Amino acid sequence: MPILQIRQAIRDAMKEEMERDERVFLMGEEVGYYNGAYKCSEGLLDQFGAKRVIDTPITETGFAGIGIGAAMCGLRPIVEFMTFNFSAVAFDQILNNASKIRHMTHGQFGVPMVFRGPNAAAHMLGSTHSQAFEHFYAHIPGLKVIAVATPYDAKGLLKTAIRDDNPVLFLESELMYSVKGEVPEEEYLIPFGQADIKRKGDAVTVITWGQGVPVALKAAELAAAEDLSCEVIDLRSIRPMDEAAIIASVKKTNRAVVVYHGWPTGGVGGDIVARIQELAFDDLDAPVLRVCYEDLPMPYAENLENLILPSPERALAAIRRVAYKR
Percent of the chain with pLDDT over 90: 99
Selected catalytic residue, list 17, 60, 80, 134: 60
Give the pLDDT of residue 326.
74
> pLDDT tens across 237-277, in order?
999 999 999 999 999 999 999 999 999 999 999 999 999 99
Question: Nearest CA to 43 among 51, 30, 57, 33?
Answer: 33
| 189 found inside a domain | no
Number of separate domains in the chain: 2
Which of 159, 182, 205 terminates a domain? The answer is 182
Can you give the CATH number for the domain in which 304 is found? 3.40.50.920
CA distances from 163 to 76, 114, 168, 185 (A): 8, 9, 10, 19
| 16 belongs to a structural domain | yes
Asked if residue 259 and residue 178 are part of one domain, the reply reads no
User: Within this chain, do residues 27 and 97 fall inside the same structural domain, yes or no?
Assistant: yes
Q: How many CA atoms lie within 13 A of 192 on its CB side?
A: 22
Residues 279 and 221 in one domain: yes
The answer to whether the CB of 191 falls within 8 A of the CB of 218 is no
pLDDT (average), residues 196-204: 98
**Which pLDDT band, with edges at 50, 70 and 90, does 92 fall under?**
very high
Assess whether 60 carries a catalytic annotation: yes
Candidates 80, 129, 174, 261; catalytic one = 129
Residue 253 belongs to some domain of the structure: yes
Contact residues for 108 (Cβ-Cβ < 8 A; gap 6+): none
pLDDT band with cut points at 50, 70 and 90 for residue 183: very high
Quote the mean pLDDT of the chain.
Answer: 97
User: What value does the mean pLDDT take over residues 310-323?
Assistant: 98
Nearest CA to 138 out of 147, 149, 126, 125 is that of 147
Would residue 190 count as lying in a domain? Answer: no
Domain end (from 125, 159, 182):
182
Domain match, 158 and 291 both: no
* 187 occurs within a structural domain: no
- Domain CATH for 50: 3.40.50.970
Each residue's pLDDT tens digit, 6-43: 999 999 999 999 999 999 999 999 999 999 999 999 99
Enclosing domain of residue 211? 196-322
